[in-house]
C-alpha cells in the first residue's frame, strides 16, 4: 500500500539465522530452548528461595530478586519469538509486535543497568560504611531504589520506541537481526534520522555508560576499603559478598558496550547478533548459576529448601 512516495509497511521479517542450514537451525533451537528453560527455572528458584528463607531477607537478596524478575522479563521478550523463527520459520512480526518487543527490550535493558548500579551501591555501603548500613539501606530506602531502577526503563523505552515508529518506512522490511533492536530497524527508515541517532547515543550513555561508571566508582572504593582491612578472613568475606555481582556486571556490560559502542565499520550484523546473544540469552541463564555457586548463603538456603521439599533430614 502506498502513501505518497512511501510504502506503508504492515509487518517486518526477522532475518534471524536464516542463512544457516535447516539442520543447524534445529540444533540452535534445541540449544536455545534448553538455555531458556534453565534461565526460567534458575531465576524462579532464586525468587522463591530468597523470598521464603528467613536468612535471605537482607537488601542484597531483595535486589537479587528484582534482578531475577528483570531477567525473566528480558528473556520472555526476546527468546520465544527467536525460537519460533528457528523451528517453524515464523519470521514475520507485525509493526505493532515489533514496536512492543523493542519497547520492552529497552525497558528491561535500562532497568537492569540501573539495578546493577543500585546493587553496587548496596555492596559499597555494606563494606565501606557497615555501622550505618542498616540505617542507610532500610526497607523503605531499598524499595525506593528498586522502584527507581524499574521506573528508569519507562522514559527511554517510550521516547526511543515512539520516535522510531513515527518515521516512515520505505518498503524494505527485512530486519537483519533475531529481534527488533533499534539499529537494524532504523536502517529501514527513509528519512533523516541524524537527530534520533544523536538522542539514541545520549540515551545509551545515560543508561549504559553512566551506571557502569557508578559501578566502577563503587568498586574502586570497595577495593580500597578491602585492601586496608587487617584481617585476611575479613578480606575474604568482603570479596565473597562482591564477587557474584562483579562477575554478573562484567558479563552484562562487556557485551553491551561492545555491541553499542563499537565503530560502525567493525560492527557487522553477524557479529552484532553473536554479541546480542550473549546479553539477551546467555547472561540471564548464568546469573542464577553464578549466585548459586559462588554464594554460600544461597547454596545453604537451596539445601534447606530441598530438605523441606523432599522431607530429608540430611542431604
Please give the domain boundaries of the chain with CATH numbers for all domains.
11-302 (1.20.1070.10)
Residue 92: strand pairing partners? 13
Whether the per-residue pLDDT at 311 is higher than 70: the answer is no
More confident residue, 85 or 296: 85
User: pLDDT tens across 237-264, in order?
Assistant: 878 778 888 888 888 888 777 776 666 5
User: pLDDT tens across 126-140, in order?
Assistant: 999 989 999 999 999
Whether the per-residue pLDDT at 1 is higher than 50: the answer is no
Supply the mean pLDDT for the chain: 85
Closest CA to 107 of 153, 61, 138, 146: 153
Cell of 131: 555501622
Whether the per-residue pLDDT at 2 is higher than 50: the answer is no
User: pLDDT tens across 149-207, in order?
Assistant: 999 989 989 999 999 999 988 778 889 888 998 888 998 888 888 888 888 888 878 88
Give the pLDDT mean for 56-78.
91
Whether the per-residue pLDDT at 18 is higher than 90: the answer is no
Cell of 51: 523470598
Q: Is 1 exposed, middle or buried (0-12, 13-18, 19+ CB in 10 A)?
A: exposed
**pLDDT for the residue 140:** 94
SS3 299: helix
**pLDDT for the residue 266:** 55
**pLDDT for the residue 231:** 81
Whether the per-residue pLDDT at 3 is higher than 50: the answer is no
**pLDDT for the residue 118:** 94
Amino acid at each position: 500500500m502506498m502513501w505518497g512516495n512511501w510504502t506503508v509497511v504492515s509487518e517486518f521479517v526477522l532475518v534471524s539465522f536464516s542463512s544457516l542450514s535447516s539442520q543447524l537451525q534445529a540444533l540452535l533451537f534445541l540449544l536455545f530452548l534448553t538455555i531458556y528453560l534453565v534461565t526460567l527455572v534458575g531465576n524462579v528458584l532464586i525468587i522463591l528461595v530468597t523470598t521464603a528463607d528467613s536468612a535471605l531477607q537482607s537488601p542484597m537478596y531483595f535486589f537479587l530478586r528484582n534482578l531475577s524478575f528483570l531477567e525473566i522479563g528480558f528473556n520472555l521478550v526476546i527468546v520465544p519469538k527467536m525460537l519460533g523463527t528457528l523451528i517453524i520459520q515464523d519470521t514475520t512480526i507485525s509493526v505493532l509486535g515489533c514496536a512492543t518487543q523493542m519497547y520492552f527490550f529497552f525497558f528491561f535493558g535500562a532497568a537492569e543497568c540501573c539495578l546493577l548500579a543500585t546493587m553496587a551501591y548496596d555492596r559499597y555501603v555494606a563494606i565501606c560504611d557497615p555501622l550505618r548500613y542498616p540505617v542507610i539501606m532500610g526497607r523503605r530506602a531499598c524499595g525506593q531504589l528498586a522502584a527507581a531502577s524499574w521506573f528508569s526503563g519507562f522514559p527511554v523505552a517510550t521516547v526511543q520506541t515512539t520516535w522510531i515508529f513515527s518515521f516512515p518506512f520505505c518498503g524494505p522490511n527485512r530486519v537483519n537481526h533475531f529481534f527488533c533492536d533499534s539499529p537494524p530497524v532504523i536502517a529501514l527508515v527513509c528519512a533523516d534520522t541524524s537527530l534520533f541517532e544523536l538522542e539514541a547515543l545520549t540515551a545509551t550513555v545515560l543508561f549504559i555508560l553512566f551506571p557502569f561508571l557508578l559501578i566502577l566508582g563503587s568498586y574502586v572504593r570497595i577495593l580500597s576499603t578491602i585492601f586496608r582491612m587487617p584481617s585476611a578472613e575479613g578480606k575474604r568475606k568482603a570479596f565473597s559478598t562482591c564477587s557474584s555481582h562483579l562477575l554478573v556486571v562484567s558479563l552484562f556490560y562487556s557485551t553491551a558496550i561492545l555491541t553499542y559502542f563499537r565503530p560502525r565499520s567493525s560492527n557487522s550484523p553477524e557479529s552484532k547478533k553473536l554479541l546480542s546473544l550473549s546479553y539477551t540469552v546467555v547472561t540471564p541463564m548464568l546469573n542464577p548459576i553464578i549466585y548459586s555457586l559462588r554464594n554460600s548463603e544461597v547454596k545453604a538456603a537451596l539445601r534447606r529448601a530441598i530438605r523441606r521439599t523432599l522431607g530429608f533430614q540430611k542431604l
